[in-house]
Structure 1
Amino acid sequence: MIITDRNGANQKVHWQAHQSTNAEMPENTLAAMRYAWELGGIPELDIRQTADGVIIGMHDATPKRTTNAPESEQDRLISECTFAQVQEWDAGIKFSEQYRGEKVPALAHILTELAQYPERELYLDFKKVDLEKMASLIKEYGVGRQIIFCHSNHENCKTVKRLAPEVRTMQWISDKEVDFKFQETLATGFDSLDIVQFHLVDAPTKEEWRYRLQRDFLREGLKHLNEAGLELEVLPFHFDQDSMFELLDMGIRRFAVDEPKVFVETIHRYFNDKQNG
């Protein structure tokens, strides 16, 4: 997403359409992927594998929360279901009647579309798949430079970088673990990483600063990553104009958000305000 500032310079803001709590679209569907792309963002696909080895988009270990799977299958593990069984479920109707008929997509289906648009990108959030199979599929479709693989386990990121060096990797770190996990990652020189993501959760009481993770830690993390030539991404589970403007003022230019349309509107307001002084 590129916005021109008042000096005529292009300002690039990258954003991920977070799926598991997406407020605007039925998560992990082709409709959600297209929605994010059309808004100028990068969709995220949570990936799992079926019993017959097909990698699909599904956050949870079972279909109960997001599909209309019959009661007998609602608590069944995805890893125990065949892809044909998964395709019998509707992945859109629980979100809205408007999306009736949306299916749980195979990764191959998403990559087919991605390959047609070299300017588009896709996050793959590891849940439970064979990483060698995933890497082979990415190579088959020739989309490695368009993929960002993400997981909390640094070792999985290292594995993917070895299997598919052109794929960018991102380690996400929850705010409860960030103190020690970031230091561990920093000590490796950010081995095999391109991006590190911090989760921003609201503080229990309203204060001047909205989040539990403090400003100074964010600034320090951003400094370390900039010096290493890497990027910091933040996932604010909730934001308003003031909190988002402050994150942008810090120099953060990569985000993950649950409300893509609201985020884009906020970003435009930010740069319009800058242009108008």
Structure 2
Amino acid sequence: MFDWLDPLQHFQLDTALILTLLVASVHVTFRVGIMSLAPMGFAAVGGYTAALLATEAELPFVAGVAVATLLAGGIGALFAPPVLRLRGIYMALGSLALAQAIVVLIRISDVTNGPNGIAGIPLEVKTEYLVLALIVTFVVLELGHRSHFGRAAKAVRLDERTAEGLGINVFRVRFVSFTVAAALAGLAGALEAHRTSVISPDQYGFATLVIVFTYVLVGGNGHWAGPVLVTWGLTIMRDMLEFAGSNWEDIIYGVLLVLVLLVAPNGLSDRSLYRGIRRRLRERNRPAPEIDEPAEKVTTP
């Protein structure tokens, strides 16, 4: 289906699709008011699990990816209670510490070949598989968005105490979101491992996390389509700016992101932004009211 793309375009497309899975993972937690910095740790779990199952256990590709996804989700569920007890910046730092602990354990473990990583992973991932994985993810996100759980998640994000007063189990909503986000990140890591055929602990650093969070913040938490479209648009823009060199590319990219955040601080998926734009357009196109001139006074001699 995608044979008309040259190798570089094919690689860029696959990178954007896997990055979209990571963005969807962050959006799931961001939707309920959790700023989790743990997705790269769960991606490492998924990537290394799939790599070990493929190279050591010789498990089929689909089974290995499924096990990696479930294991990442299981670890997310295991560590969700202590992380979710934290609040604000402490929750973000706690989730970051969890991710860093996972990467450090991978780096010092002999099972994962330490800092050298794992090579020779079968190249099983095709672009069609990534598209199918994203379609399934989008369907699940849309069903969740329209469901009672989606409305409860929005209520939890807006006001936790009010949500509790409405009978919503805040911990359960955040627990499910954290676990699903971990599984999505694990799926992204597993697919990435089978796409590049080699992984190392250095792949799961802070730089990728910053890019993913930027896309989520610009896209907003109003709807999952916002961060996804921003990911695709800004990825295309970065590829088009390569001619300017890395320094100018980063400068132009950063300025555009700052401008977007100034215009839309709640993200591009915030409905109030577009309601305000439509109201201003109606006011601008509305004809000015006619002012009747006062009648001339008639003076009598």
TM-score, with structure 1 as normaliser: 0.28
Greater RCO, 1 or 2 (C-alpha within 8 Å, sep 6+): 2
Which has the larger strand fraction? 1
Q: Which has the larger radius of gyration?
A: 2
